[in-house]
Amino acid sequence: MKLCIIFPPLPFGWTPVAPPILEYLAALTRREDPTIEIRLISASATPNAFDTLECDLAAISILTPTSVPGYRIADKLRARGIKVVFGGFHASAMPEEAKEHGDSVVIGEAESAWPQVLRDFRSGTLQPFYQGERLVLDNMPTPLYGQLQDRHQFRILNTSRGCPYNCTFCSVKPFMGADIRFRPIDHVVRDAAAIPEKMYINGDENIWWQGFEQRAIDMFTELKGVKKKWMGFGSLRPVLSPAGSRMLNAARESGMLTVWVGWDAISDEGLMGYKANGKIGVDRERAIRTLRDHGIDVSLFYMLGGRNDTLDDFKRSVEVADRLGVSMHPSLVVPYPGTELRREYEPYLYKELGWEYYTGAYALFDHPDPAMTAEVREEQFYESSLELLSLGRVLRHMFKVPLSGFPYAHLLSLMNQLPVRTGLKIAYEQWKADKGAVRHKQLVS
């Protein structure tokens, strides 16, 4: 039996980060049946692989912005008689839609369902839907790091699942649940040691949780022995907790160089509108300064153009970057399927815009302010983003990266920003070429 595990192309081109589902699902497969021949395909790196692809079963993991190219890949493979199974966040939120392009859909987490999928396929009894369970994370195999050979320089390591916060825009809680499930620390260390590169990404929704600071300290202390550099995603509230300083010191000593923080909205009113203030804490600017004081570089991710946002928020984002000495990575608001924000924005959506527009670079809904037209929001997004990622700013930010991280953190700052800058420039040119067609879709919706 030949199995292909596929991650469809990302909207704005290749990135150096290996899609984690590929090597992890390969490990689940190998544990279930070592005789299966496995091929992993990251379509951003090898877009022409599907013309001559040979396999019996294709597993395609889709996010919302990769769903349309994922469906196209599936349609092409099925026309050649290859069976297709979908999984991932988007397939779990829209299983009936995914089933229209596939033979089967795994809803939710894969561990409990994937072995049965393989057994059913072998016996010719593949079911249309499989419901994954949220299991205790004490039996996860080490991903088959190194199996994917498509120019990717970063692997992702996960140490927990779930999120107790109520951010209306986030898909993590609907997909993984409200309870935080931690992996055993020795398993985390085992997997970090197995990564072939000297630097990796902690892909958790949050690398430290309010009330679980000691667990984070214990994990960072053990990871110190792996002697690798890493970056991850972290909320701000635990940073200012009584154990925050010890936690940050332990993270830095374990090799942490950069934290990506969900700033989420420029204004405090916007934060509350998204119910994101719970993870931010009482003073998010002081938390940012505290991170930098502990030798950790900071990149902020945030959204613009929501129904409660103003044109001034686009300009203020540049001022925030200058004042705090951080890099900023904006997107336009995306109401993903399955989220509370999607239900809230449903009456205002431009319904003729398909999933291929759900990239963070398009206005997807009507705004109550007549001045905030879709075209104005998109133009302002590109102008502020390209200003934040101008070559001069990217280079100047290197001088603001804490010296304790030299040279790795400084090189990482360039690697984080330059590919995004390149992708944004490509997207901007595409937007200028396509905006007439997009506006027409919105007018007729």
pLDDT of res. 443: 54
Q: Token pair for residue 99?
A: 């089933």
Average the pLDDT over 403-424 and give the result.
Answer: 78
365-385: buried (b, 16+ CB within 10 Å) or exposed (e) per residue? bbbeeeebebebbbbbbbebb
pLDDT of res. 186: 98
Which residue shows structure tokens 């505290």?
290
d(C-alpha 358, C-alpha 204), whole Å: 22
pLDDT of res. 393: 84
d(C-alpha 71, C-alpha 79), whole Å: 12
| 92: Cβ contacts below 8 Å, ≥ 6 apart | 106, 107, 108, 175, 338
Question: What is the dihedral sign for C-alpha 167, 352, 12, 379?
Answer: negative
Lowest-pLDDT choice from 20-34, 213-227, 315-329: 315-329
Instruction: Evaluate whether 256 touches 281 at the Cβ level (below 8 Å).
Output: no
Instruction: Evaluate whether 65 touches 16 at the Cβ level (below 8 Å).
Output: no
Cα–Cα distances in angstroms (integers) from residue 438 to residues 115, 157, 304, 369, in the given order: 43, 38, 19, 20
Instruction: Evaluate whether 389 touches 421 at the Cβ level (below 8 Å).
Output: yes
pLDDT in tens, 337-391: 999 999 999 999 999 999 999 999 999 999 999 999 999 999 999 999 999 988 8
Residue 404's pLDDT band (boundaries 50, 70, 90)?
confident
Looking at 3.80.30.20, 3.40.50.11540, 3.30.930.10, 3.50.50.60, the CATH number of the domain 160-431 comes to 3.80.30.20
Cα–Cα distances in angstroms (integers) from residue 203 to residues 33, 40, 43, 88, 282, in the given order: 27, 20, 20, 15, 25
**For the chain, which residues make up each domain, given as ranges?**
2-131, 160-431
pLDDT at 415 over 80: no
The β-bridge relationship of strands 199-202 and 155-157 is parallel
The pTM for the full model equals: 0.93
- H runs (alpha helix) in 13-139: 20-32, 67-79, 89-93, 95-99, 114-123
Q: CB-hemisphere CA count at 13 Å for 433?
A: 6
pLDDT at 406 over 80: no
Q: Of 180, 167, 249, whose CA–CA distance to 209 is shortest?
A: 180
Q: Of 323, 313, 336, 207, whose CA–CA distance to 265 is shortest?
A: 313
Phi, psi torsion values for 273, nearest 5 degrees: -60, -35
pLDDT of res. 53: 92
d(C-alpha 337, C-alpha 97), whole Å: 12
pLDDT of res. 42: 94
| 360: Cβ contacts below 8 Å, ≥ 6 apart | 65, 331, 332, 334
pLDDT at 437 over 70: no
Residue with the larger pLDDT of the pair 281 and 18 = 18
| 164: Cβ contacts below 8 Å, ≥ 6 apart | 173, 178, 179, 180, 209
Give 282-338 as a DSSP string: S-HHHHHHHHHHTT-EEEEEEEE--TT--HHHHHHHHHHHHHHT-EEEEEE----TT
Residue with the larger pLDDT of the pair 412 and 315 = 315
DSSP 83: E
Instruction: Evaluate whether 85 touches 57 at the Cβ level (below 8 Å).
Output: yes
pLDDT of res. 442: 57
Cα–Cα distances in angstroms (integers) from residue 61 to residues 74, 322, 357, in the given order: 11, 38, 18
Average the pLDDT over 217-246 and give the result.
Answer: 97
Q: Token pair for residue 219?
A: 């994990």
pLDDT at 445 over 60: no
Residue 440's pLDDT band (boundaries 50, 70, 90)?
low
2-131 and 160-431 agree in CATH topology = no
pLDDT in tens, 287-343: 999 999 999 999 999 999 999 999 999 989 889 988 888 998 899 999 999 999 999
The percentage of residues in the chain with a pLDDT greater than 70, rounded to a whole number, is 98
pLDDT in tens, 112-167: 999 999 999 999 999 999 999 999 999 999 999 988 876 777 899 999 999 999 99
Q: Taking phi first (over 0 means left), then psi (-120 to 50 degrees means alpha), and beta for anything else, what does residue 64 get?
A: alpha
d(C-alpha 161, C-alpha 137), whole Å: 8
d(C-alpha 260, C-alpha 301), whole Å: 7
- What is the three-class DSSP state of 264? strand
CATH superfamily for domain 2-131: Response regulator (3.40.50.2300)
